[in-house]
């Protein structure tokens, strides 16, 4: 797993969330598990305003391998009102192709 590639994709995902381009994000996802309306509902129901995280946060994520495949899940906490929240986005990454592909897997408060 290349943490720099993952961090770059996380930055792109957060940028789309900040711009409320939920449809674009869902279209980029390989597996269509989460819909744009689901993302919108989760973010809009969370108190405060979604804000950009500090650059250093893009290297602060947990990784969980998925069985024996070349896939893994990354948990990344979103930021609201300039502070790290307890709302997390789960992203499934797939390394079985030359390009690192991803799918938005879930948004939740653990």
Instruction: Spell out the domain ranges in the chain.
Output: 3-108
pLDDT on residue 98 = 82
Is residue 73 within 8 A of residue 92, CB to CB? The reply is: yes
d(CA 38, CA 69) in angstroms, rounded, equals: 27
Is residue 89 within 8 A of residue 13, CB to CB? The reply is: yes
**Which sign, positive or negative, has the C-alpha torsion 75, 66, 4, 39?**
negative
Q: 3-108 has which fold?
A: Nuclear Transport Factor 2; Chain: A, (3.10.450)
pLDDT on residue 60 = 86
d(CA 102, CA 93) in angstroms, rounded, equals: 4
Percent of the chain with pLDDT over 90: 78
Closest residue by Cα to residue 2 from 75, 95, 64: 95
């Amino acid at each position: 797993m290349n943490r720099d590639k993952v961090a770059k994709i996380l930055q792109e995902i957060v940028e789309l969330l900040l711009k409320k381009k939920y449809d674009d994000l869902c279209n980029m996802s390989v597996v269509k598990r989460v819909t744009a309306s689901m993302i919108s509902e989760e973010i809009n129901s969370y108190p405060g305003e979604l804000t950009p995280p500090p650059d250093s946060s893009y290297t602060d994520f947990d990784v969980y391998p998925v069985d024996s495949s070349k896939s893994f899940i990354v948990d990344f906490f979103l930021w609201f009102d300039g502070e790290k929240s307890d709302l997390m986005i789960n992203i499934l990454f797939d390394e079985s192709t030359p390009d690192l592909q991803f799918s938005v897997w879930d948004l939740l408060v653990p």
